[in-house]
Structure 1
Amino acid sequence: MLSLRATTIILTASVGIIGANSLALGPIAPSIAADLGGSTSTTLYAAGGYGLGTALGALTLSPLIDRIGVQRALFGALIALASCFTASAVTPGISGLIIAQSLAGLAAGIGLPAIYAYAAEIAPKGQESKILGRVLVGWTLSLVAGVSLSSLLADLIHWRLVFGLLSILALLCGLIVFLSRPPKSERSDIGLQFPLRAFGLPGVPALLTICFFFMVTFYGTYAFIGDHIHHTLNLPLRAGGLIAITYGTGFALASLGDSLIDRHGTRSLMPWVMGMVTLTYALMAGFSGSFAALLILTALWGAANHFGLNLVVGSLSALHPSKRGIVLGLNSAVTYLAASAGAFAFGPLYETQGFAMLCGLATVLMVLPVLIGFALRLRPSIPSALNSAD
């Protein structure tokens, strides 16, 4: 049986693989288009297919996690991802890439909630947020590998190597998961026949509402900060890379404080962390014209978002252990739908009003998660898992 540390590393790497694939497509799309004889915009349909596939997979396949257990669900997802990445690496045309990436999205849709559920099941009592926080650092790894490393490999060698390496890593993680001893799971007796019925479980609607607004503001703002720095502040493209580094650094370093969540409880901290995210957007709106200020604020943004993501995922995971897979599947579906909604809703506003107005809108939208967070503190009817450490 793998040690707790080794299992955590594998789960962190698995998150990094899933995130890196989605982030890698943007930087290497021009290389793919030139090689396969298509346009960059058409090539990016593969990224859209991956996102929509993930949302669909999370909605339809996540019940399998509760029925077959997290180990088998994660193993199957990683092997499926490895197969789809291999297909992406050898595809002769853009249409094949779009199909392969859409199928990879389906696998990621069950893989992400399985990873989060796995982390909850292996965590020692009282260390759930600490272990989950370490797993969430995989998103920082995906920023580095998905943006920086993928561009470097595509420029120096070939874009196909990016998908080839992702395939090998997914296969290795899958095999390690297969050879490890499965954690003890609370299986659902009959399972939920329709995933959307999980919205009726106590506490789930409130937390998914927080998740949606938390994610829609992040994706809607982060998608345009690079363009703002390049075209509005007239700085080189590499300046946008520094923003990604500071955000990722803040996100990763915040994991050192995850034990505070275990100590004080998710319900106590939820409104204050969401308030910290709200304040960050307000400050970014006020200092959007200063690159130095944005560098500092994006580090704070990353730290606040780390705690916010930990609180949302950790709370959902603890609510109904026997239905953990399907509840976390809804979380993944809401996340990827929010990503699409953020790009569509914030884009026109950015084009007409600029980045400061985007941050102002994000500030207003985040007021609702803060209010819901305070409401959860005042409602003892919500399951006690939200307040386990209080």
Structure 2
Amino acid sequence: MIPDEGTAENYFKGRGAQFNPHNRFAKDDYVKEHSEGIDDWEEEDQKTSFIFGKSKSIVNKVDSPDVGMLYSLNPYQGCEHGCTYCYARNAHEYWGFSAGLDFERKIIVKTEAPELFKKFLERKGWDASVISLSGNTDCYQPAERKFRITRQLLEIALAYKQPIGIITKNALILRDIDILTELAKLNLCMVYVSINSLNEQLRQKMEPRTTTAKQRLKIVADLSKAGIPMGVMVAPLVPGLSDHEIPAILKAIASNGAISAGYTVVRLNGAIGGIFEDWLHKNYPDRADEVWHMIQSCHGGNVNDSRFGNRMKGDGNISQIINDTFKLHCRLNHLNEIKPKLDSSLFQVPKIQLNLFGN
């Protein structure tokens, strides 16, 4: 059932989700049905707030075999970018919040991340496997401009010669081109930018607080010119909304210096299904049902398939067309011909402790 909130009159501009679905871990829920019957109902503040949580660890082992990473590090939980399809939304429920609006406006800031990162790297027997920043939420989301945690993590990675992978959709990464360049000189980093559409109107609706596709192509160009190996995740592709853009996206990223590309087909697990369906009907009412059915056709009649190997790319006729189109245009644009392998042999614990707050 699609909620009544977020209609044209009170659509939350600048937010992807338009309501807070029930947290599956919460026993109780409350809704505003008759405002005249509540004496002290307070409307929730739509501004972003920051919550400073305490974590015991910061690097997570990734057990899923089809995500392309072994370890992930996320300095923030929740993401103000507000992408409607974001799989990380469900994780916000573990913190006691909703996967909807809460995910975008209640951001958990892990200020202790740099110290925890150092402790992790100094563990006995650490083999310097590649650690991916933004395995869950974007490490360059707007909060990073203020808190600068990601920059501190990169400083540590450089000092320890720890290989790092990054995926982002925020041009703030260009702020740290100095550190990234030094890492790249030692073959210690690769950066992926997420671009699932070149259509600015679609981007504003589906990824409301992200940077434009034009700016993301600039990230690819500038970092590539600096000697940093660049890839692009064309993800997630939404059948009926953005899948037709595959040829144009791959041509654009190749001309800006990208050497590799990957993709996923949108999957809407957990609370994300209701959030996305609500968003789809409010923004594209004329084709919402068609798009929804196309997504279902990619996942065996559902909008999500949890099977490893199938869940990211889907199956069925539409998924096969997407796959064939993607492979063809990767070949035409000479993408994925080079497969960089980061160097773990340089890793060492520095003798001199870092001053993490010098910048």
Give your verdict on TM over 0.5: no
| Structure of greater relative contact order (alpha carbons < 8 Å, 6+ residues apart) | 1
TM norm structure 2: 0.24
TM-score with structure 1 setting the length: 0.23
Q: Which has the higher strand share?
A: 2
